[in-house]
Structure 1
Amino acid sequence: MTNRHDSVAEPPPGPGEPPAVPLEFAAFCELHRPRYLSYARVWLPDQTEAAGAVQQAFAEIAVHWRELLGSSNPTAHAWQILRGTVSEHTLRSDPPARPSHPADDDLAILHYIVGLAAPEIADVIGTDTASVAGRLRRTMLREASGW
């Protein structure tokens, strides 16, 4: 007896071929890669190093993909993986970039340097637009008080 599902199943990857990537993960990468890369380039001016950091973050996200999908906020968890990976790379750069940075500084970077609006930032970091707008305002006021 043959199983009708066997005939439509993808064949396993051959030697040296990368394993099949879940469609949701591929879509996630396509959506977030340009923004993640823009963020990484702020901290890692060497484009090759920035691309490597983003690729490393996506590899880590891929390892935990099923767990992330089961979490309450997969995008926020993926953003934390990216932040951690970029931070690790900044420590290895010569000279080292600023090793740690508050999360609100990330919002300012995404808004003022990368050029994302509050709804786009919320989409990238996995939060709501109102929270991003409030945190951006607070960051701007904090910086202005230091002038």
Structure 2
Amino acid sequence: MTNRHTSAAEPPPGPGEPEDVPLEFAAFCELHRPRYLSYARVWLTEHADAATAVQQAFAEIALQWRELLTSPNPTALAWQILRGTVAEHTRQPVAAPDRHPADDDLAILHYVVGLAAPEIADVIGTDTASVAGRLRRTMLHEASGW
């Protein structure tokens, strides 16, 4: 089985990412980097721009690593850092009032990146049932606009 989220062209840890990091942080990066890159590539079509945004996000996560680990949901906080970093690089417009940006992210991760609900839950730091329900709600919202 192939992993659609990895690529031989993926960069090693970049400038700004610490070289000597705790094992837990290195494992976190290895687990999430491919999915973070896939998400960033949706917004930043140049692979180098997407890689830079992800590297900057990981550098910020590294700076906050100890605090993240003491939070109730480190993965969710790391996802927010990534989303913010990608948004800074894209200068994304504010979402329409009836749209929730997090729901848009779920749709992107599911329909564009190709992640299943359990994978999305793992990436954004929530439970699978919540992701599945929000995806259904987003799909129904979009269908009602057709």
Q: TM-score range by the shorter chain?
A: 0.7 to 0.9
| RMSD of aligned residue pairs (Cα, Å) | 1.0
2:93 corresponds in structure 1 to 99
5 Å-filtered alignment, 1:5-44, equals: 19-44=19-44
State the TM-score, normalized to the length of structure 1. 0.82
The one-letter amino acid of 1:67's match is E
The one-letter amino acid of 1:86's match is V
Unaligned runs of 5+ in 1: 1-17, 92-97
How far the C-alpha of 1:100 sits from its partner, in A, is 3.8
Spell out, residue by residue over 1:69-94, the C-alpha distance to the aligned partner (whole angstroms, 9 max, x if none): 00000000000000000000002xxx
1:30–1:146: structure 2 CA closer, same or farther, 3 Å change rule? same
The one-letter amino acid of 2:93's match is P
Spell out, residue by residue over 1:5-45, the C-alpha distance to the aligned partner (whole angstroms, 9 max, x if none): xxxxxxxxxxxxx6511000000000000000000000000
Spell out, residue by residue over 1:102-126, the C-alpha distance to the aligned partner (whole angstroms, 9 max, x if none): 1100000000000000000000000
Identity over aligned residues, as a percent? 84
Residue 99 of structure 1: SS of its match in structure 2? coil
5 Å-filtered alignment, 1:1-147, equals: 19-91=19-91, 98-101=92-95, 102-147=101-146
2:9 corresponds in structure 1 to none
The one-letter amino acid of 2:25's match is F
The one-letter amino acid of 1:64's match is Q
How many angstroms apart in 1 are the aligned matches of 2:42 and 2:138?
18
The runs of 4+ residues in structure 1 deviating greater than 3 Å are none
- Contact 1:87 1:100 survives alignment (8 Å): no
Residue 115 of structure 2: SS of its match in structure 1? coil
How far the C-alpha of 1:129 sits from its partner, in A, is 0.2
The one-letter amino acid of 1:103's match is A
- Contact 1:32 1:124 survives alignment (8 Å): yes
How many angstroms apart in 1 are the aligned matches of 2:128 and 2:23?
27
